Chain A
Amino acid sequence: MYDWVPTRALRRAVAMLLVLLIAGAVLGRIDLVVVAAPFAIGAVWGLSRRPRLLPTAALDISGDVAGEGGLITGRIAIDNPDRAPLTSVTVRSHRSEWLRFERGTGTYVTTVYGGGGTDVLLHGRALRWGRHRIGPVDVRAYAADGLMRSRSIRVPSHPVRIYPTTQPFDASDAMPKAAGIAGTHRSRRPGEGGELSGVRPFQPGDRLRRVDWRVSLRNRELYVNATLSERDAEVVLVLDVLHEAGRSWPGRPSVLDTVVRASAAVAEHYLHRGDRVSALEFGPSMRHLRSATGHRQYLTLLEWLLDVRVVASGAAPTSRLLSHRVLPPNALVLFLTPLLDETSSTMLATMARTGRFVLAVECLPPGVRPDRTSEWTDLAYRLWLMERENLMGRLREVGVPVVPWRGTGSLDEVLRDVTRMAAAPRAVLR
């Protein structure tokens, strides 16, 4: 393949030149030679400055990680290694629909001098979480006053990771059951913690610094302060990715946006407190993030959330979800769901019947409703809302609290209820 090829304009110039010169010679008309003269001069001058080397192009993005609404900058660098100037260089860059650029994307046309270069600056913002791409960039150059055209140069696209914004979330200290051997939650077992559980007689092995001298003097016998051990808890985030609803837009989240942002917020809260958090997709792919603690797990989870998407597949989630390895019995399960699919509500009920501490976080954003397609749409929508209320009531009856996601403190009351229920004896299916 040739790097530079003649354009139709060159063929036209040559055709005009030949026809006019031959006609002028045959008819003996000097005026036709005069008419042909600019074509001859233009073609000769242009071709005398035709390039031999292709221009080079590079896409340089400063930082490939940002948060939602974060700034993305970069540049498309075009260099001309040849001495001949380029009449016009067309730079056409593409981008993901969730990246909005004030400048730099679209089609730019510029000139590049011989041995010189030029930059197209990119400046924009990310509108939505996820893995997005800037590019590919197509570059095509014209030289010799539009008589020669380069072959197309394609710069591969550049990936950028946009992490979800964590909506403010806080929950009081209410966990149904602590699971580990260290952590921030009080357990019901005595141990080396900071929470005072009572005073008891001294036993061999007790440390001297735990002796309560005031009580010991009063009773003429050694007494020590007994404390409760501190445990961490495990939180399992189950993300319902069976359906998407609503149109994603800044200030107007879709179901998936709400699920992902709520997951990030809840995970940040519990990981910051030292709990273990794992995540699981409730969908055909059943992606699973193993439980761990700390800031590293938070970053891993954010990375994991970037790949959350609704997969159009008829395969129903399997019962693997209920295995002890994926869903430990003592874990607090936060099921983030829009409650749009019967499979989700069935799974919630099954989890509750098998003794899991499960909480349904309803992630259907307010205002999401179907497009009005007929006069029956409004009525059908109202019926659907009533059915939905009924479904939530039935879930509550089987022991699954349903709470809409509203950010800060929205889960407090329900978590307290779950804790209270966890303390009570219950019969479960095994």
Chain B
Amino acid sequence: MISPRTEEMLRRGAGVLRRTAPGPMLFRLTALLAGTAALVLALAGPMRGNPWTYVVVLAVALIPAVRPGGPWVTVVELGTAGLWVFGDLVYREGRGIAGALVLGALLYLHHSACALAAALPNDGRLGPGVLIGWLTRTGVVLLGTAALTVVVVLVLPPAGTGHGGALFPALGMFAAVAAGVAVAYLLHRRR
């Protein structure tokens, strides 16, 4: 026997599903796929061998896809980056710059798909410019990232040579602080 409250919830859920348009669903699906792929890429060591890990990964990736406007998106992305570092530190799995580039691309795809999915109402009928614009912008950003990675690999000394010393960590800290200040300044000037 279903309680009236459950029946009401089911009815409301069915109504939401009935009104759902395919356009916004496409972005949520992209977020789900990108999140799952990023988490699978970040897995390390014995985690890869356990089939239950993939069930957990799918469940975790599903949360931001369902609630793209919530804080879970940030949690999943930071958790993925943390898992990546954890695997590297604990299991000594060197996945190289190419792996980091792919992980960065997947995380950014996840981030931007969630950003747009949060802006789109479930029942919104999308104009073609929305999808094409998003694909173009994301493509440009990922190409720029690839180009930057190539520059970084060429400019920076190979790991373990001891060249660079404290310069690059200091540059990294400076870049982080500069990025924070720049964003704060831009937002302060908003109208």
Nearest B-chain residue to A12, judged by Cβ? B74
Tell yes or no: A419 within 8 A of B by CB. no
Instruction: Please state if A22 and B125 are interface contacts (CB–CB under 8 Å).
Output: no
Q: Name the one of A41, A85, A107 contacting B144, with C-beta atoms under 8 angstroms.
A: A41
* Docked complex Cα distance between A9 and B111 (Å): 7
Instruction: Please state if A25 and B103 are interface contacts (CB–CB under 8 Å).
Output: no
Instruction: Please state if B119 and A90 are interface contacts (CB–CB under 8 Å).
Output: yes
Decide: A7 near B119, CB < 8 A? Known: A12-B74, A17-B179, A21-B176.
Answer: yes
Chain B positions 156 through 181: 1 when the CB is less than 8 Å from some CB of chain A, otherwise 0: 10010000000011111101100110
Instruction: Please state if B148 and A90 are interface contacts (CB–CB under 8 Å).
Output: no
Q: Indicate the size class of the contact surface on chain A.
A: 35 or more
Instruction: Please state if B191 and A34 are interface contacts (CB–CB under 8 Å).
Output: no
Tell yes or no: A386 within 8 A of B by CB. no
- The prevalent SS among residues of B at the interface is helix
Instruction: Please state if A31 and B129 are interface contacts (CB–CB under 8 Å).
Output: no
Interface size on B, residues (CB 8 A): 69
User: A147: which B residues are within 8 A, CB to CB?
Assistant: 115
Chain B: minimal CB distance from A118 (Å) = 8
Nearest A-chain residue to B132, judged by Cβ? A111
* Docked complex Cα distance between A247 and B128 (Å): 40
Instruction: Please state if B126 and A109 are interface contacts (CB–CB under 8 Å).
Output: yes
* Docked complex Cα distance between A211 and B176 (Å): 115
Chain A positions 388 through 412: 1 when the CB is less than 8 Å from some CB of chain B, otherwise 0: 0000000000000000000000000
**Interface-forming stretch among A45-53, A196-204, A282-290?**
A45-53
Q: Name the one of B114, B129, B171, B191 contacting A3, with C-beta atoms under 8 angstroms.
A: B191
User: B175: which A residues are within 8 A, CB to CB?
Assistant: 21, 33
Instruction: Please state if A18 and B97 are interface contacts (CB–CB under 8 Å).
Output: no
Tell yes or no: B183 within 8 A of A by CB. yes
Most buried by B among A30, A85, A90, A106: A30
Chain B: minimal CB distance from A244 (Å) = 27
Instruction: Please state if A10 and B105 are interface contacts (CB–CB under 8 Å).
Output: no
Instruction: Please state if A24 and B145 are interface contacts (CB–CB under 8 Å).
Output: no
Chain B: minimal CB distance from A192 (Å) = 69
Tell yes or no: B78 within 8 A of A by CB. yes
Q: Which of A1-38 contact B (CB under 8 A)?
A: 2-38
Instruction: Please state if B105 and A107 are interface contacts (CB–CB under 8 Å).
Output: no
Decide: A149 near B148, CB < 8 A? Known: A16-B111, A52-B191.
Answer: no
Chain B positions 132 through 145: 1 when the CB is less than 8 Å from some CB of chain A, otherwise 0: 01100100111011
Nearest B-chain residue to A13, judged by Cβ? B111
Decide: A90 near B77, CB < 8 A? Known: A30-B152, A38-B141.
Answer: no
Instruction: Please state if A111 and B115 are interface contacts (CB–CB under 8 Å).
Output: no
Instruction: Please state if A34 and B69 are interface contacts (CB–CB under 8 Å).
Output: no
Nearest A-chain residue to B109, judged by Cβ? A38
Decide: A34 near B100, CB < 8 A? Known: A7-B115, A25-B173.
Answer: yes
Nearest B-chain residue to A3, judged by Cβ? B191
User: A111: which B residues are within 8 A, CB to CB?
Assistant: 127, 129-130, 133
Instruction: Please state if B81 and A25 are interface contacts (CB–CB under 8 Å).
Output: no
User: B141: which A residues are within 8 A, CB to CB?
Assistant: 38, 41-42, 45
Instruction: Please state if B85 and A32 are interface contacts (CB–CB under 8 Å).
Output: yes
Instruction: Please state if B172 and A90 are interface contacts (CB–CB under 8 Å).
Output: no
Instruction: Please state if B120 and A109 are interface contacts (CB–CB under 8 Å).
Output: yes
User: A47: which B residues are within 8 A, CB to CB?
Assistant: 183, 186
* Docked complex Cα distance between A53 and B190 (Å): 10
Tell yes or no: A56 within 8 A of B by CB. no
* Docked complex Cα distance between A21 and B164 (Å): 17
Instruction: Please state if B107 and A35 are interface contacts (CB–CB under 8 Å).
Output: yes
User: A85: which B residues are within 8 A, CB to CB?
Assistant: 133
Q: Which residues of A contact B (CB under 8 A)?
A: 2-45, 47, 50, 52-53, 85, 87-88, 90, 92, 106-111, 118, 142, 145-149
Task: Please name the 10 residue pairs, one residue from A and one from B, whose CB atoms are nearest each other, closest first.
Answer: A25-B172, A9-B115, A31-B100, A146-B115, A21-B176, A38-B108, A110-B127, A111-B129, A35-B104, A34-B100
Given pairs A36-B104, A37-B104, 14 additional interface contacts (CB within 8 A): A16-B74, A16-B107, A25-B169, A30-B156, A32-B85, A38-B108, A38-B142, A41-B145, A45-B140, A88-B119, A108-B124, A109-B120, A145-B134, A146-B115
